[in-house]
A and B are shown apart, each in its own frame.
Chain A
Amino acid sequence: QVQLQESGPGLVRPSQTLSLTCTVSGGSISSGNYYWTWIRQPAGKGLEWIGRIYSSGSTNYNPSLKSRLTISVDTSKSHFSLKLTSVTATDTAVYYCASEDSVWGVYDHWGQGTLVTVSS
């Protein structure tokens, strides 16, 4: 059973960089069975797909965030990471990492989510 756990600062200053890591356990991050994905949810709102990475390092990003976004993977540490630059209050959200089944394209395992607040 794949398990995911987000970690990172809960408070980020405006214009700074938001950095989060998702640690994968219970399965190999290099298995090829999954795309490793970031999704966020502002308070009281819906889910926004941020982007994903494959174990090879291949990425896909949400066009609305692409200019500020980097997703990377470290297979030796079994984790993948998100960096979002030049943040504003609109980036305040619960950030989830999830595994996307590489066959079905659905998110069958999720982290518990971590709240990131952008505020001075």
Chain B
Amino acid sequence: EIVMTQSPATLSVSPGERATLSCRTSQSVGHNLAWYQQKPGQAPRLLIYGSSTRAIGIPARFSGGGSGTEFTLTILSLQSEDFAVYYCQHYNNRPPYTFGQGTKLEIK
């Protein structure tokens, strides 16, 4: 099973600034990595797949990068609605398709 490690656990950023979240996998997953956003009481929402492709309806301020074992999610000019928990997930080869433990993005 591939282990996903996200950092930091909590990130404090001011509205309008940039946030960069990291995800590391225990073995290479190529570009088979996705990012999700989860707000309290809601199901996760797909943001990014293929490490860098935005899902339908996701604003351009969200961007993903990386390959192999190191990945990033960058959010430019943070809006109030962006403060949430973010999860990375791999979908390489066969299940289980594990998730990271999450990064909580909070208002500074």
Chain A residues packing against B (C-beta within 8 Å): 46-49, 51-52, 60, 62-63, 96, 98, 100, 104-108, 110-113
Known contacts A49-B98, A63-B1, A96 near B91 by CB under 8 Å: no
Least CB distance from B82 to A in Å reads: 19
Give the interface segment out of B17-25, B42-50, B64-72: B42-50
Known contacts A46-B100, A49-B99, A107-B46, A60 near B91 by CB under 8 Å: no
**Complex contact A106–B46 (CB within 8 A):** yes
Known contacts A104-B50, A106-B91, A49 near B55 by CB under 8 Å: no
A60 CA to B98 CA in the complex, in Å? 13
CB-nearest residue of chain A to B85: A46
**Complex contact A110–B44 (CB within 8 A):** yes
Known contacts A96-B43, A107-B44, A108-B55, A47 near B99 by CB under 8 Å: yes
A110 CA to B39 CA in the complex, in Å? 14
